[in-house]
Amino acid sequence: MLDNLLSIVAPHLCYGCGKTGTLLCQSCKYDIVNDKNEACLVCLGPARSGEICSRCDVAYEKGWFIAEREGPLKDLIDAYKFQRAKAGYAVLAELLGSSLPELTPETFIVPIPTAGDHIRQRGYDHLALIAKEFGRLRHLPVLPVVKRLTNLTQHDLSAEERELAASRAFIVEAKLDPGATYLLLDDIMTTGATLKYAAEAMRAAGAEHIFAAVIARQALD
Ligand SMILES: [Zn+2]
Ligand SMILES: [Zn+2]
């Protein structure tokens, strides 16, 4: 409602081409989704879409990302996270829907929990909104079972400090079903530590089939 009102006052401009009307026009959506993503989510080495390559050892079996974090996708997600462009969740969920294959009906979407201070700053939990919309599009339930133990804001940490913080960051208090599939969802993947340790926490809680999906993969240096 408020977002509709705001869009009348200040119409959305496409983050790809600047065209008036939506945050991302059909043609720019098409360009992002159809840019073939033949890379391992973890190392960005060659792998078929969704496949984790044999060199990477993680607790999740498959992993997808919409695109690398650059261009219009980067601008859109940054605006959505940091400038309160709340309408971004629907576009990002749609892009996710176009990038991921069919999932079995026994798949639960598990969003990585957002730090509480970030939710307070933004006034909304950006990833929970995307997870909910993606679940609506795919008719899959959202199961927010991963909890955050620490609320460390990661921006000022070195890579090693971030890894250590991530290894202690998550817990799953529920008992998970070994027959079900759990799709961990995160917005931006940088070092991969968040997904790695969240997946390990899920495995410790009984999950045997874990997939991962992220909106944007930060390019490696
Ligand atoms: Zn456009
Ligand atoms: Zn790999």
Examine the pLDDT at 2 and tell me if it is beyond 60: no
Tens of pLDDT, residue by residue over 14-59, are 999 999 988 999 999 999 988 767 899 999 999 998 999 999 999 9
Tens of pLDDT, residue by residue over 28-40, are 999 998 876 789 9
Q: Is 164 exposed, middle or buried (0-12, 13-18, 19+ CB in 10 A)?
A: middle
Could you identify the residue written with the tokens 């999950």? 207
H or E element that contains 65: strand 62-68
- Cβ atoms of 189 and 65 within 8 Å: the answer is yes
Q: pLDDT value at position 98?
A: 93
pLDDT band at 10 (very low <50, low <70, confident <90, very high): low
Tens of pLDDT, residue by residue over 131-183, are 999 999 999 999 999 998 866 565 677 878 877 877 888 999 899 999 999 99
Distance from the alpha carbon of residue 189 to the mean position of ligand 2, in angstroms: 14
Out of 3.40.50, 3.30.70, 3.30.43, 1.10.3470, select the CATH number for domain 2-217: 3.40.50
Q: Where do the structural domains in the chain lie, given as residue ranges?
A: 2-217
Tens of pLDDT, residue by residue over 77-104, are 988 887 766 788 999 999 999 999 999 9
DSSP designation for 21: S
Distance from the alpha carbon of residue 191 to the mean position of ligand 2, in angstroms: 13
Q: Residue 30: nearest ligand to its CA?
A: 1
Distance from the alpha carbon of residue 200 to the mean position of ligand 2, in angstroms: 17
Distance from the alpha carbon of residue 21 to the mean position of ligand 1, in angstroms: 9
Instruction: Please report, rounded to a whole number, the percentage of residues in the chain having pLDDT higher than 90.
Output: 65
Task: Specify the pairing of strand 107-111 against strand 181-189.
Answer: parallel
Residues with CB under 5 A from ligand 2 (ion): 40, 42-43, 45, 53, 56
Q: What is the pLDDT averaged over residues 118-127?
A: 79
Q: pLDDT value at position 3?
A: 55
Q: Residue 24: nearest ligand to its CA?
A: 1
Cα separations (Å) of 135 from 28, 109, 173?
A: 23, 7, 22
Distance from the alpha carbon of residue 44 to the mean position of ligand 2, in angstroms: 6
For residue 34, the Cα-to-chain-centroid distance in whole angstroms is 18
Q: pLDDT value at position 9?
A: 57
Distance from the alpha carbon of residue 83 to the mean position of ligand 1, in angstroms: 19
Q: pLDDT value at position 155?
A: 66
Distance from the alpha carbon of residue 24 to the mean position of ligand 1, in angstroms: 5
Examine the pLDDT at 8 and tell me if it is beyond 70: no
More confident site: 192 or 117: 192
Q: pLDDT value at position 87?
A: 81
